[in-house]
């Protein structure tokens, strides 16, 4: 559908959601141009990517319509910002989870009225989206879940909750036995809150199903990550990033089925030895902060500099898909324990110390046979910018070069990034 057609079709819905229509049109326009330049211009894309193109073109349209229909039928929409919020409990309570992390600069000015300028771009973006009335997802939410991961988010939620109904989960910063207990308490509180808001009891039966549902989505993404390891590389890093991004918005049943179809196609391509780039193109891995839609800046720079991205060690990447929840539990107690075990394995830099992440990065870099790693941190994100030093040291021991990038969502530094990335690609060749 043309942009204009879509705008007309959904304008009433956006108005009802309270969006600023002309600012929102501006956002969609930029998004469309961006997508055309960065995605649609690629050679040898998989046919299965058409589904992702469609979802993205309807990201503020059809998907929002679906959410509205679900709400009309009594379902609740729960917004989240972080992988530490167990989505299984939301699904079990017949509710829908949507990711609210944002990756555009457009609401920055509005956000900076209530947040310091030197706050990370991701936080400013989701706050800005709300204040500038640009995000139909946040407007569709019956409840938004925050967590005390980092200083920036933790404190921003204190202000954000003046604008949206929130529940804050306290997250431990270490991984001892008492920390597991603390997280367990928070998971149980979260469960009670979701039951209250949704009006649905979470039972052993519906939780078991929800665990399977979300595991299946993770398994599809794991399968994708296995297949893309092939040489020559059969799918661009940009496309895999997009798939990971969409996993936070789309209906989990449909998404899993579509990604498995895409994987079938990918499998054939790998068997035929076909790739999107030559065999000798440098293989790079991204590691660090999440890249939320439409933050495709750095992957685009990397893949236009003669390299290909073969892995994302990030929340919108393997950190989200690596671990499954044990499915053997039959009782509520066993299943909650399985959830807690799985979520406490997340190796976010907000933990101290966080040796698992270093191990995972080294393991992944070797497994993917990368020529180098790009450590990506959002400006002012202390946990990742400080941990980058340790990542560099860990990779140094394995003779794997690392490039440290610190950036935000603006396009001002794109030439500078290009110069640095090109020099790095040249070096690792």
Binding site for another protein (CB under 8 A): 114-116, 118-119, 148, 150-152, 154-159, 168, 170-174, 176, 178-179, 182, 349-350, 352-353, 379-380, 382-383, 385-390, 406
Quote the least distance from Cβ 298 to another protein, whole Å: 18
Asked if 129 contacts 135 with a C-beta cutoff of 8 angstroms, the reply is yes
- What one-character DSSP code corresponds to residue 406? E
Quote the least distance from Cβ 2 to another protein, whole Å: 42
Quote the least distance from Cβ 158 to another protein, whole Å: 5
Quote the least distance from Cβ 346 to another protein, whole Å: 16
Residue (of 159, 203, 194, 220) closest to 77 by Cα position: 194
- The Cα–Cα gap between 181 and 167 comes to 19
Quote the least distance from Cβ 153 to another protein, whole Å: 9
Nearer Cβ to another protein (168/230): 168
Nearer Cβ to another protein (136/383): 383
- Non-local (6+) Cβ contacts of 155 within 8 A are none
Nearer Cβ to another protein (118/271): 118
- The Cα–Cα gap between 141 and 333 comes to 29
Nearer Cβ to another protein (200/404): 404
Nearer Cβ to another protein (33/118): 118
| Residues present in the chain in total | 429
Quote the least distance from Cβ 152 to another protein, whole Å: 5
Quote the least distance from Cβ 185 to another protein, whole Å: 8
Q: And the tokens for 101?
A: 């992390």
- The Cα–Cα gap between 313 and 317 comes to 6
Residue given tokens 């990030």 in the structure block: 314
Strands (E), 269-320: 283-288, 308-313
Nearer Cβ to another protein (150/316): 150
Residue 325 C-alpha from the chain's centroid: 19
Q: What is the DSSP string of 15-59?
A: HHTT--HHHHHHHHHHHHHHHIIIIIT-SS--TTHHHHHHHHHTT
Quote the least distance from Cβ 316 to another protein, whole Å: 20
Nearer Cβ to another protein (68/161): 161
Quote the least distance from Cβ 377 to another protein, whole Å: 8
Nearer Cβ to another protein (47/113): 113
Residue 420 vs residues 143, 153, 415: alpha-carbon distances, Å? 42, 30, 9
- Non-local (6+) Cβ contacts of 95 within 8 A are 75, 76, 77, 78, 142, 194, 197, 198, 200
Which stretches within 147-251 are classed as H helix?
151-160, 177-198, 204-227, 237-246
- The Cα–Cα gap between 410 and 148 comes to 26
Nearer Cβ to another protein (258/319): 319
Residue 99 vs residues 279, 334, 385: alpha-carbon distances, Å? 36, 27, 24
Return the CA Rg of the chain. Answer: 21
Sheet with 283-288: strands ordered across: 308-313, 283-288, 372-378, 402-407
Quote the least distance from Cβ 390 to another protein, whole Å: 7
Quote the least distance from Cβ 156 to another protein, whole Å: 6
């Amino acid at each position: 559908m043309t942009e204009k057609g879509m705008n007309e079709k959904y304008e009433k819905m956006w108005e009802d959601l309270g969006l600023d229509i002309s600012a929102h049109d501006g956002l969609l326009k930029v998004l469309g141009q961006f997508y055309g330049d960065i995605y649609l211009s690629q050679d040898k894309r998989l046919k299965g990517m058409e589904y992702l193109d469609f979802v993205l073109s309807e990201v503020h349209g059809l998907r929002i319509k679906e959410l509205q229909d679900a709400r009309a039928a009594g379902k609740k929409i729960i917004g989240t910002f972080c992988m530490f919020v167990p989505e299984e409990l939301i699904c079990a309570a017949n509710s829908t989870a949507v990711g609210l992390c944002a990756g555009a600069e457009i609401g920055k000015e509005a956000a900076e009225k209530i947040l310091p300028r030197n706050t990370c771009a991701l936080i400013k973006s989701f706050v800005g989206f709300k204040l500038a009335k640009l995000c139909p997802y946040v407007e569709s939410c019956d409840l938004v879940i925050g967590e005390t991961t980092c200083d920036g988010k933790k404190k921003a939620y204190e202000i954000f909750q003046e604008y949206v109904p929130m529940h804050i989960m306290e997250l431990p910063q270490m991984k001892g036995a008492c920390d597991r207990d603390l997280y367990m308490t928070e998971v149980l509180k979260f469960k009670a809150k979701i039951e209250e808001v949704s009006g649905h009891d979470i039972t052993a039966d519906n939780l078991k199903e929800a665990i399977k549902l979300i595991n299946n989505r993770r398994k599809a993404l794991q399968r994708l990550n296995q297949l893309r390891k092939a040489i020559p590389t059969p799918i661009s890093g940009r496309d895999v990033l997009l798939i990971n991004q969409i996993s936070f918005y789309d209906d989990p049943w449909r998404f899993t089925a579509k990604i498995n179809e895409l994987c079938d196609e990918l499998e054939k391509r790998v068997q035929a030895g076909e790739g999107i780039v030559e065999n000798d193109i440098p293989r790079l891995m991204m590691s660090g902060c999440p890249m939320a839609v439409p933050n495709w800046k750095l992957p685009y720079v990397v893949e236009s500099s003669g390299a290909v991205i073969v892995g994302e060690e990030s929340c919108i990447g393997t950190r989200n898909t690596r671990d499954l929840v044990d499915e053997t539990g039959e009782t509520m107690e066993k299943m909650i324990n399985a959830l807690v075990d799985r979520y406490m394995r997340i190796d976010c830099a907000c933990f101290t110390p966080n040796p698992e992440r270093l191990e995972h990065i080294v393991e992944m870099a070797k497994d993917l046979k990368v020529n180098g790693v790009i450590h990506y941190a959002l400006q002012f994100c202390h946990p990742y910018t400080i941990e980058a030093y340790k990542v560099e040291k860990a990779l140094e021991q394995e003779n794997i070069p690392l490039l440290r990038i610190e950036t935000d969502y603006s396009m001002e530094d794109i030439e500078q990034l290009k110069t640095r990335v090109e020099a790095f690609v040249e070096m690792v060749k």
